[in-house]
């Protein structure tokens, strides 16, 4: 694009690239000023999408506020891709300041207040940002806050399904264009569950932003996006003063109210939150203490807490008031009592209804056959019979992903995370299956292979495991390994038609006509003997 002219804008340089699109530095040849011009990545060719996008850009362009980066122009290229021309704002993002530990309590509140003022203006015009995050908050050379991308996030990657378009920003999955999109750290619970959103979703994101500014770490954490999303939906973070002792209780109350899970329990307007922020900032004064960035994950924070507990126990043992033996006996008794209570209190693994189990097996077999639509229908029946069946939800996510319904796949994986927050409560094989399916849906096929290999080690006589392992190898472009495992499935069960079907397809791809014909003949005969018309059609 560099050097080209779009409308009357000459592209000079690339400023940045992300899941939403590419931003270039450009010169307005009519007015002789520098601007930023954004082209959306993977923009839809659908006429409805373009019309709606330009209509919303027109609405946002009417916003005029000192803390909102202005939209100057909008239009389409000759090949019908929409673009937006924006105010060029220099300076650093809030994300940069967070990484550099460049904030104090007072400065954090100043920045968040200015973002809240921008949100108040937008909400008054019926515009919800829906993508408040550190990279969308820019601080210019004069220290003034500018909020970017107003009204744009809600239209990015929108498809023709009825699901909320924000759903696509939640799963960190690889699209057909090989673009990794999204982070759930600042999404509201409504966005994480694809529910309708309003201005209060922006206030939740603002609360998450404030939390990170004053504590040095995000409000929610996890090893993957599904874990983070589950925390957003279910977990209440520690009060900020538990992490940064300089945070006053009044500021704790503001943050925790903004982060309320239910929208009706949050601030109902940006003005209401602004009033509370202003009062607390006046009470804090000019606190010059810089907030250190904490880069530990939730796991490391937990480990730190455990270490602190051990140190405290060690101190107790050193005190002369009781003998070490007495203290040790007391500690062991308490641990034993706690273990018994947890064992009795922990519910056993969910047992699916008999009808749900039958539909699950039908759907899973259809998945292995490559009949993804049939699989989705059977698995939907399984869930209708038993909505608390985690493996059925996971397999349905796999079917939706094969059918290119990423938003629906995300919803099913979120349901799994809700049903099974602690997978150690499951039988070992079921827990591994959930992890393997999640890895496959997230396109982490190397991890899926490792997990299916572990399942095969635990249950070596189950032929379907080798088909699952073969499919993972196949998706990871390791065809010889895939063939090896499909053949292993036929060795374990010579009447397993699916394994012959899968290996026959790979022989075709290798142009081995004789082996392919033999495998297909064997599969067809077995399907016929079983009365499986769908298998014969495949």
For residue 316, count other CB atoms closer than 10 A to its CB: 13
**How far is the C-alpha of 100 from the C-alpha of 110, rounded, in Å?**
18
Percent with pLDDT over 70 in the chain: 78
Contact (Cβ atoms closer than 8 angstroms) between residue 45 and residue 39: no
Provide CB contacts within 8 A for 131, sequence distance 6+. 149, 152, 153, 154, 169, 186, 205
**How far is the C-alpha of 317 from the C-alpha of 353, rounded, in Å?**
52
Dihedral Cα 42, 45, 49, 52, nearest 10 deg: 100
Phi-psi region of 404 (alpha: psi -120 to 50; beta: other; left: phi over 0): left
Read out DSSP for 73-106?
Answer: EEEE-TTS-EEEEEE---SEEHHHHHHTT--BHH
- Mind listing the pLDDT tens digit for each residue in 293-343? 876 544 444 444 333 334 333 443 444 444 555 656 666 666 666 655 555
Question: What does the block give as tokens for 42?
Answer: 């993977």
CA distances from 22 to 19, 153, 316 (A): 8, 14, 58
Bridge partner residues of 86 (DSSP): 36, 71
Read out DSSP for 31-66?
Answer: TTEEEEEEEETT----HHHHHHHHHHHHHHHT---T
User: For 77, phi and psi rounded to 5 degrees?
Assistant: -75, 175
For residue 257, count other CB atoms closer than 10 A to its CB: 16
**Residues of the chain below pLDDT 70:** 18-20, 41-53, 55-56, 151-183, 224, 295-349, 532-538
**How far is the C-alpha of 413 from the C-alpha of 426, rounded, in Å?**
16
**How far is the C-alpha of 274 from the C-alpha of 123, rounded, in Å?**
14
**How far is the C-alpha of 133 from the C-alpha of 148, rounded, in Å?**
10
DSSP 3-state helix, strand, coil percentages of the chain (rounded to 5)?
55, 10, 35
Please name the residue that has the structure tokens 């939150």.
273
Question: What does the block give as tokens for 111?
Answer: 């920045």
DSSP three-state, residue 388: coil
Question: What does the block give as tokens for 332?
Answer: 């062991």
H-only helix segments in 319-353: 324-345
**How far is the C-alpha of 107 from the C-alpha of 98, rounded, in Å?**
12
**How far is the C-alpha of 486 from the C-alpha of 470, rounded, in Å?**
6
Q: What is the DSSP letter of 443?
A: T
Burial 381-403 (b: 16+ CB within 10 A, else e): bbbebbebbbbbbbbbbbbbbbe
Read out DSSP for 111-161?
Answer: HHHHHHHHHHHHHHTT-------GGGEEE-TTS-EEE--TTTGGGTT--SS
pLDDT for the residue numbered 179: 28
Of 203, 184, 186, 194, the residue nearest 266 (C-alpha): 203
H-only helix segments in 386-496: 390-402, 406-419, 428-441, 445-458, 463-475, 479-492
- Mind listing the pLDDT tens digit for each residue in 48-71? 666 666 766 777 788 889 999 888
pLDDT for the residue numbered 449: 94
**Residues present in the chain in total:** 538
pLDDT for the residue numbered 130: 86
Computed on alpha carbons and rounded to an integer, the radius of gyration of the chain in Å comes to 28
Q: Is 131 part of the annotated catalytic residue set? A: yes
Provide CB contacts within 8 A for 173, sequence distance 6+. 180, 181, 401, 406, 409, 410, 441, 442, 443
Active-site option among 28, 45, 79, 131: 131
- Mind listing the pLDDT tens digit for each residue in 120-145? 999 998 888 888 999 889 998 888 99
pLDDT for the residue numbered 333: 67
Contact (Cβ atoms closer than 8 angstroms) between residue 416 and residue 433: no
């Amino acid at each position: 694009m560099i050097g080209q002219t779009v409308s009357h804008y000459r592209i000079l340089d690339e400023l940045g690239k992300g899941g939403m699109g590419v931003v270039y530095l450009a010169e307005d040849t009519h007015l002789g000023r520098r601007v930023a011009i954004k082209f959306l990545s993977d923009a839809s060719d659908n006429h409805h999408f373009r019309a709606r996008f330009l209509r919303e850009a027109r609405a946002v362009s009417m916003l005029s506020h000192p803390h909102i980066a202005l939209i100057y122009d909008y239009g389409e290229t000759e090949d019908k891709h929409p673009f937006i021309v924006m105010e060029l704002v220099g300076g650093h993002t809030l994300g940069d300041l967070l990484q550099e530990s460049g904030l104090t309590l007072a400065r954090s509140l100043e920045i968040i207040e200015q973002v809240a003022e921008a949100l108040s203006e937008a909400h008054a015009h019926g515009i919800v940002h829906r993508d408040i995050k550190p990279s969308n908050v820019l601080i210019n050379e004069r220290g003034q806050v500018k909020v970017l991308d107003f009204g744009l996030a809600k239209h990015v990657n929108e498809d023709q399904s009825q699901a909320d378009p924000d759903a696509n920003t939640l799963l960190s999955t690889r699209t057909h264009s090989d673009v990794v999109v999204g982070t759930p750290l600042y999404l509201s619970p409504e966005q994480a569950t694809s529910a309708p959103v309003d201005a209060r979703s922006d206030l939740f994101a603002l609360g998450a932003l404030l939390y990170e500014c004053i504590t040095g770490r995000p409000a929610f954490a996890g090893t993957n996006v599904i874990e983070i999303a589950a925390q957003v939906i279910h977990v209440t973070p520690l009060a900020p003063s538990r992490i940064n002792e300089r945070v006053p209780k009044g500021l704790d109350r503001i943050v925790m109210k903004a982060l309320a899970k239910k929208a009706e329990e949050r601030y109902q307007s940006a003005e209401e939150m602004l009033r509370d922020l202003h009062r607390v900032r006046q009470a804090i004064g000019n606190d010059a203490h810089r907030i250190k960035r904490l880069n530990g994950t939730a796991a490391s924070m937990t480990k730190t807490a455990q270490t602190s507990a051990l140190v405290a126990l060690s101190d107790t043992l050193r005190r002369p008031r009781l003998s070490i033996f007495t203290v040790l006996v007391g500690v062991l008794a308490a641990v034993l009592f706690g273990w018994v209570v947890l064992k009795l209190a922990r519910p056993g693994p969910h047992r699916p209804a008999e009808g749900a189990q039958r539909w699950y097996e039908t759907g899973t077999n259809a998945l292995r056959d490559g009949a993804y639509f049939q699989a989705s229908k059977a698995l939907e029946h399984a869930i209708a019979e038993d909505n608390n069946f985690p493996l059925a939800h996971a397999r349905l996510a796999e079917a939706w992903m094969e059918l290119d319904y990423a938003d629906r796949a995300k919803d099913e994986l979120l349901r799994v995370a809700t049903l099974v927050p602690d997978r150690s409560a499951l039988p070992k094989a079921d827990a591994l299956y959930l992890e393997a399916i999640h890895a496959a849906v997230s396109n982490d096929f190397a991890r899926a292979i490792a997990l299916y290999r572990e399942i095969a080690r635990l249950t070596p006589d189950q032929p379907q495991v080798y088909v699952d392992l073969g499919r993972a190898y196949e998706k990871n472009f390791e065809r010889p390994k895939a063939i090896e495992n499909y053949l292993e499935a036929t060795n374990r069960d010579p009447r397993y038609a699916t394994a012959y079907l899968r290996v026959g397809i790979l022989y075709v791809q290798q142009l081995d006509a004789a082996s392919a014909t033999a495998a297909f003949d064997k599969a067809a005969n077995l399907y016929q003997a079983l009365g499986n018309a769908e298998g014969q059609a495949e």
